Structure 1
Amino acid sequence: MLKLRSKVVHVGIDPGVNVGFALSWAGELLQLQTLDFWSAIDELRLLAEGAQLHVYIENPNVNKPTFFKKGANSVAVRENISQKVGSNKRDAQLLIQFVERLGVKVLAMPPRKAGKITAAGFKQLTGWAQSSSQHARDAAMLVLGR
Protein backbone atom coordinates (compact mmCIF):
# COMPACT_ATOMS: atom_id res chain seq x y z
CA MET A 1 0.00 0.00 0.00
CA LEU A 2 1.18 3.50 -0.79
CA LYS A 3 1.88 5.95 2.02
CA LEU A 4 1.99 9.11 -0.08
CA ARG A 5 -0.18 11.67 1.71
CA SER A 6 2.03 14.59 0.66
CA LYS A 7 1.00 14.32 -3.00
CA VAL A 8 -2.04 13.14 -4.84
CA VAL A 9 -2.03 9.63 -6.26
CA HIS A 10 -3.89 9.49 -9.57
CA VAL A 11 -5.81 6.29 -10.30
CA GLY A 12 -7.03 5.50 -13.80
CA ILE A 13 -9.71 2.86 -14.29
CA ASP A 14 -10.94 1.32 -17.52
CA PRO A 15 -14.11 -0.57 -16.45
CA GLY A 16 -15.27 -3.86 -17.86
CA VAL A 17 -14.95 -7.59 -17.34
CA ASN A 18 -11.20 -6.96 -17.23
CA VAL A 19 -10.63 -3.71 -15.33
CA GLY A 20 -7.61 -1.68 -16.37
CA PHE A 21 -6.01 -0.12 -13.29
CA ALA A 22 -3.19 2.43 -13.37
CA LEU A 23 -1.44 4.45 -10.65
CA SER A 24 0.47 7.65 -11.21
CA TRP A 25 2.22 9.85 -8.67
CA ALA A 26 4.03 13.12 -9.33
CA GLY A 27 3.58 12.57 -13.08
CA GLU A 28 5.24 9.14 -13.02
CA LEU A 29 3.44 5.95 -13.89
CA LEU A 30 3.90 3.59 -10.94
CA GLN A 31 1.72 0.61 -11.63
CA LEU A 32 -0.33 -0.98 -14.40
CA GLN A 33 -2.49 -4.03 -13.91
CA THR A 34 -5.60 -5.78 -15.08
CA LEU A 35 -8.02 -6.79 -12.33
CA ASP A 36 -11.47 -8.25 -11.95
CA PHE A 37 -14.19 -5.89 -10.72
CA TRP A 38 -14.01 -6.90 -7.04
CA SER A 39 -10.21 -6.74 -6.92
CA ALA A 40 -10.44 -3.19 -8.28
CA ILE A 41 -12.91 -2.33 -5.49
CA ASP A 42 -10.54 -3.83 -2.88
CA GLU A 43 -7.56 -1.94 -4.32
CA LEU A 44 -9.48 1.36 -4.27
CA ARG A 45 -10.51 0.81 -0.65
CA LEU A 46 -6.91 0.14 0.40
CA LEU A 47 -5.53 3.10 -1.53
CA ALA A 48 -8.13 5.45 -0.05
CA GLU A 49 -6.93 4.50 3.44
CA GLY A 50 -3.30 5.34 2.72
CA ALA A 51 -3.17 8.14 0.16
CA GLN A 52 -4.93 11.21 -1.15
CA LEU A 53 -6.54 10.10 -4.42
CA HIS A 54 -7.97 11.49 -7.60
CA VAL A 55 -9.71 8.73 -9.55
CA TYR A 56 -10.34 8.91 -13.29
CA ILE A 57 -12.86 6.41 -14.60
CA GLU A 58 -13.58 5.93 -18.27
CA ASN A 59 -17.30 6.62 -18.61
CA PRO A 60 -18.77 4.81 -21.63
CA ASN A 61 -22.18 6.32 -20.86
CA VAL A 62 -21.44 9.15 -23.30
CA ASN A 63 -21.33 6.68 -26.20
CA LYS A 64 -24.21 5.56 -28.35
CA PRO A 65 -25.69 2.22 -27.17
CA THR A 66 -24.66 0.09 -30.16
CA PHE A 67 -21.43 0.14 -32.09
CA PHE A 68 -21.48 -1.03 -35.68
CA LYS A 69 -18.33 -2.88 -36.56
CA LYS A 70 -17.25 -4.24 -39.89
CA GLY A 71 -18.67 -7.74 -40.14
CA ALA A 72 -21.34 -7.12 -37.47
CA ASN A 73 -24.20 -7.39 -39.91
CA SER A 74 -26.44 -9.82 -38.04
CA VAL A 75 -28.94 -8.88 -35.38
CA ALA A 76 -27.41 -11.47 -33.02
CA VAL A 77 -23.94 -9.91 -33.30
CA ARG A 78 -25.31 -6.39 -32.73
CA GLU A 79 -27.35 -7.58 -29.73
CA ASN A 80 -24.26 -9.23 -28.25
CA ILE A 81 -22.31 -5.98 -28.67
CA SER A 82 -25.17 -4.07 -27.02
CA GLN A 83 -25.19 -6.46 -24.06
CA LYS A 84 -21.43 -6.01 -23.53
CA VAL A 85 -21.69 -2.23 -23.80
CA GLY A 86 -24.57 -2.19 -21.29
CA SER A 87 -22.55 -4.29 -18.86
CA ASN A 88 -19.56 -1.97 -19.25
CA LYS A 89 -21.73 1.09 -18.62
CA ARG A 90 -23.11 -0.42 -15.42
CA ASP A 91 -19.63 -1.36 -14.20
CA ALA A 92 -18.56 2.27 -14.73
CA GLN A 93 -21.59 3.58 -12.80
CA LEU A 94 -20.92 1.24 -9.88
CA LEU A 95 -17.23 2.16 -9.73
CA ILE A 96 -18.05 5.89 -9.83
CA GLN A 97 -20.60 5.49 -7.04
CA PHE A 98 -18.17 3.44 -4.94
CA VAL A 99 -15.40 6.04 -5.24
CA GLU A 100 -17.85 8.81 -4.33
CA ARG A 101 -18.94 6.82 -1.26
CA LEU A 102 -15.29 6.64 -0.21
CA GLY A 103 -15.27 10.45 -0.23
CA VAL A 104 -12.65 10.47 -2.97
CA LYS A 105 -12.58 12.88 -5.90
CA VAL A 106 -13.72 11.06 -9.04
CA LEU A 107 -13.68 12.31 -12.60
CA ALA A 108 -15.80 10.41 -15.11
CA MET A 109 -13.93 10.70 -18.40
CA PRO A 110 -15.18 10.07 -21.94
CA PRO A 111 -13.46 7.26 -23.85
CA ARG A 112 -10.29 8.33 -25.62
CA LYS A 113 -11.10 9.80 -29.05
CA ALA A 114 -7.73 8.83 -30.47
CA GLY A 115 -8.61 5.15 -30.03
CA LYS A 116 -6.52 2.33 -28.67
CA ILE A 117 -2.76 2.51 -28.26
CA THR A 118 -0.48 -0.41 -29.04
CA ALA A 119 2.05 -1.74 -26.55
CA ALA A 120 4.87 -0.38 -28.73
CA GLY A 121 3.23 3.04 -29.01
CA PHE A 122 2.59 3.10 -25.28
CA LYS A 123 6.23 2.26 -24.54
CA GLN A 124 7.40 5.02 -26.87
CA LEU A 125 4.99 7.55 -25.36
CA THR A 126 5.50 6.71 -21.67
CA GLY A 127 8.75 4.79 -21.40
CA TRP A 128 6.87 1.89 -19.73
CA ALA A 129 8.96 -1.18 -20.57
CA GLN A 130 6.93 -3.84 -18.73
CA SER A 131 4.11 -5.76 -20.35
CA SER A 132 0.64 -4.21 -20.29
CA SER A 133 -2.86 -5.19 -21.38
CA GLN A 134 -5.01 -2.95 -23.56
CA HIS A 135 -7.21 -2.32 -20.52
CA ALA A 136 -4.25 -1.22 -18.38
CA ARG A 137 -2.95 1.05 -21.16
CA ASP A 138 -6.41 2.64 -21.48
CA ALA A 139 -6.42 3.29 -17.72
CA ALA A 140 -2.93 4.79 -17.89
CA MET A 141 -3.95 7.17 -20.65
CA LEU A 142 -6.62 8.55 -18.29
CA VAL A 143 -4.12 9.43 -15.54
CA LEU A 144 -1.53 10.70 -17.99
CA GLY A 145 -4.06 13.03 -19.60
CA ARG A 146 -3.59 11.74 -23.14
Structure 2
Amino acid sequence: MTKILIGIDTGVNTGFAVAADRGNGGELQQVESLSITQAMEKVKKLIEKWGNENVCLYIEDARQRTWFTGGREKAQGVGSVKRDAQIWEDWCKEQCINFNMIHPQNNSTKYKAPLFKKITGWVGRTNEHARDAAMLVHRRFARF
Protein backbone atom coordinates (compact mmCIF):
# COMPACT_ATOMS: atom_id res chain seq x y z
CA MET A 1 0.00 0.00 0.00
CA THR A 2 1.31 3.44 -0.92
CA LYS A 3 1.67 5.94 1.88
CA ILE A 4 1.86 9.64 1.07
CA LEU A 5 4.24 11.70 3.19
CA ILE A 6 3.90 15.48 3.10
CA GLY A 7 6.70 17.71 4.39
CA ILE A 8 5.82 21.20 5.61
CA ASP A 9 8.42 23.88 6.35
CA THR A 10 6.35 26.59 8.04
CA GLY A 11 6.65 30.27 7.25
CA VAL A 12 5.43 33.00 4.91
CA ASN A 13 6.85 30.90 2.09
CA THR A 14 5.63 27.47 3.12
CA GLY A 15 7.91 24.71 1.92
CA PHE A 16 5.77 21.84 0.60
CA ALA A 17 6.99 18.42 -0.47
CA VAL A 18 5.27 15.16 -1.26
CA ALA A 19 6.90 11.75 -1.14
CA ALA A 20 5.38 8.36 -1.86
CA ASP A 21 6.47 5.51 0.39
CA ARG A 22 5.96 2.22 -1.39
CA GLY A 23 7.94 0.28 1.19
CA ASN A 24 11.31 1.67 0.15
CA GLY A 25 11.24 5.04 1.87
CA GLY A 26 9.93 8.37 0.71
CA GLU A 27 10.57 9.01 -2.98
CA LEU A 28 10.01 12.68 -3.80
CA GLN A 29 7.09 13.45 -6.11
CA GLN A 30 6.68 17.20 -5.58
CA VAL A 31 8.89 19.96 -4.11
CA GLU A 32 7.73 23.58 -4.07
CA SER A 33 7.00 26.70 -2.06
CA LEU A 34 3.42 27.89 -1.50
CA SER A 35 1.32 30.12 0.71
CA ILE A 36 -0.05 28.43 3.83
CA THR A 37 -3.58 28.33 2.36
CA GLN A 38 -2.37 26.87 -0.94
CA ALA A 39 -0.49 24.17 0.98
CA MET A 40 -3.58 23.34 3.04
CA GLU A 41 -5.67 23.00 -0.15
CA LYS A 42 -3.10 20.63 -1.65
CA VAL A 43 -3.15 18.54 1.53
CA LYS A 44 -6.95 18.26 1.28
CA LYS A 45 -6.72 17.16 -2.37
CA LEU A 46 -4.11 14.52 -1.57
CA ILE A 47 -6.30 13.17 1.23
CA GLU A 48 -9.28 13.04 -1.14
CA LYS A 49 -7.18 11.07 -3.63
CA TRP A 50 -5.32 8.68 -1.30
CA GLY A 51 -7.53 8.52 1.82
CA ASN A 52 -6.82 10.01 5.22
CA GLU A 53 -5.36 6.74 6.51
CA ASN A 54 -2.66 6.82 3.81
CA VAL A 55 -1.49 10.43 4.27
CA CYS A 56 0.72 11.87 7.01
CA LEU A 57 2.20 15.34 7.41
CA TYR A 58 5.70 15.92 8.79
CA ILE A 59 5.78 19.53 9.98
CA GLU A 60 8.90 21.31 11.17
CA ASP A 61 8.06 22.64 14.64
CA ALA A 62 9.96 25.90 15.15
CA ARG A 63 8.41 26.18 18.63
CA GLN A 64 10.91 23.55 19.78
CA ARG A 65 13.89 25.53 18.56
CA THR A 66 15.75 27.27 21.38
CA TRP A 67 18.71 28.72 19.48
CA PHE A 68 18.45 31.89 17.39
CA THR A 69 20.85 34.33 15.84
CA GLY A 70 20.18 37.73 14.34
CA GLY A 71 18.53 40.95 15.38
CA ARG A 72 15.05 42.18 16.10
CA GLU A 73 13.69 41.52 12.60
CA LYS A 74 14.91 37.94 12.77
CA ALA A 75 13.19 37.49 16.15
CA GLN A 76 9.90 38.74 14.69
CA GLY A 77 10.24 36.27 11.82
CA VAL A 78 10.86 33.45 14.28
CA GLY A 79 7.67 34.39 16.13
CA SER A 80 5.73 34.21 12.87
CA VAL A 81 7.13 30.77 12.01
CA LYS A 82 6.29 29.53 15.52
CA ARG A 83 2.74 30.82 15.11
CA ASP A 84 2.48 29.02 11.76
CA ALA A 85 3.58 25.75 13.39
CA GLN A 86 0.74 26.16 15.88
CA ILE A 87 -1.73 26.88 13.07
CA TRP A 88 -0.67 23.71 11.24
CA GLU A 89 -0.96 21.62 14.41
CA ASP A 90 -4.43 23.01 15.21
CA TRP A 91 -5.60 22.55 11.61
CA CYS A 92 -4.44 18.94 11.46
CA LYS A 93 -6.23 18.17 14.74
CA GLU A 94 -9.43 19.88 13.56
CA GLN A 95 -9.34 17.99 10.24
CA CYS A 96 -8.32 14.67 11.90
CA ILE A 97 -5.20 14.50 9.72
CA ASN A 98 -2.27 12.27 10.66
CA PHE A 99 0.74 14.44 11.49
CA ASN A 100 4.05 14.58 13.31
CA MET A 101 5.65 17.76 14.61
CA ILE A 102 9.39 17.42 13.92
CA HIS A 103 12.03 19.15 16.05
CA PRO A 104 14.25 21.28 13.77
CA GLN A 105 17.40 19.54 15.00
CA ASN A 106 15.94 16.23 13.76
CA ASN A 107 15.84 17.40 10.15
CA SER A 108 18.63 17.99 7.68
CA THR A 109 18.13 21.54 6.44
CA LYS A 110 19.72 24.43 4.65
CA TYR A 111 21.15 22.39 1.80
CA LYS A 112 22.19 24.43 -1.21
CA ALA A 113 20.56 23.35 -4.49
CA PRO A 114 23.53 21.35 -5.92
CA LEU A 115 23.93 19.22 -2.78
CA PHE A 116 20.15 18.78 -2.47
CA LYS A 117 20.02 17.47 -6.06
CA LYS A 118 22.89 15.08 -5.36
CA ILE A 119 21.28 13.72 -2.16
CA THR A 120 17.70 13.44 -3.42
CA GLY A 121 18.01 13.14 -7.18
CA TRP A 122 15.44 15.96 -7.53
CA VAL A 123 16.20 17.94 -10.69
CA GLY A 124 13.46 20.58 -10.54
CA ARG A 125 13.98 24.14 -9.34
CA THR A 126 13.69 24.67 -5.59
CA ASN A 127 14.17 27.30 -2.96
CA GLU A 128 15.43 26.86 0.60
CA HIS A 129 11.93 26.39 2.04
CA ALA A 130 10.98 23.73 -0.50
CA ARG A 131 14.26 21.88 0.08
CA ASP A 132 13.75 21.95 3.87
CA ALA A 133 10.24 20.51 3.44
CA ALA A 134 11.57 17.81 1.13
CA MET A 135 14.18 16.73 3.66
CA LEU A 136 11.38 16.09 6.17
CA VAL A 137 10.03 13.28 3.95
CA HIS A 138 12.87 12.16 1.67
CA ARG A 139 13.71 8.54 2.47
CA ARG A 140 11.59 8.67 5.61
CA PHE A 141 9.86 5.41 6.34
CA ALA A 142 6.19 5.96 7.07
CA ARG A 143 5.24 5.38 10.70
CA PHE A 144 1.49 5.86 10.76
Q: Which bin holds the TM-score, normalised by the shorter protein? A: 0.7 to 0.9
CA distance in structure 1 between the partners assigned to 2:120 and 2:68 by the alignment: 30
For 1:7 and 1:55, locate their aligned partners in 2 and report how far apart those are by CA, in whole Å.
15
C-alpha distance in 2, partners of 1:141/1:115?
7
Tell me which of 81, 85, 91 is aligned to 1:98. Answer: 91
Is the partner of 1:17 in helix, strand or coil? coil
Q: Identity, % of aligned pairs? A: 36
Q: 1:42 is matched by which residue type in structure 2?
A: E
Whole-Å separation in 2 of the counterparts to 1:145 and 1:85: 28
Give aligned pairs, total.
132
Consecutive unaligned residues of structure 2, counting only runs of 5 or more, are none
- Output the CA distance in 1 between the equivalents of 2:137 and 2:93: 18
Residue of structure 2 equivalent to 1:109: 102
- Kept in 1: contact 2:17–2:32 (CA 8 A): yes
Which residue among 48, 51, 56 is the counterpart of 2:58?
56
Residue identity in the other structure for 2:137: V
Aligned residue type for 1:58: E
1:119 aligns with 2:121: no
RMSD: 1.7
Q: Deviations for 1:71-99, whole angstroms, at most 9, x for unmatched residues?
A: xxxxxxx2211111011000111012112
Which stretches in structure 1 are left out of the alignment for 5+ residues? 1-5, 70-77
The structure number with the bigger radius of gyration is 1
CA drift at 1:112: 4.1
Q: Calculate the TM-score normalised by the size of structure 1.
A: 0.83
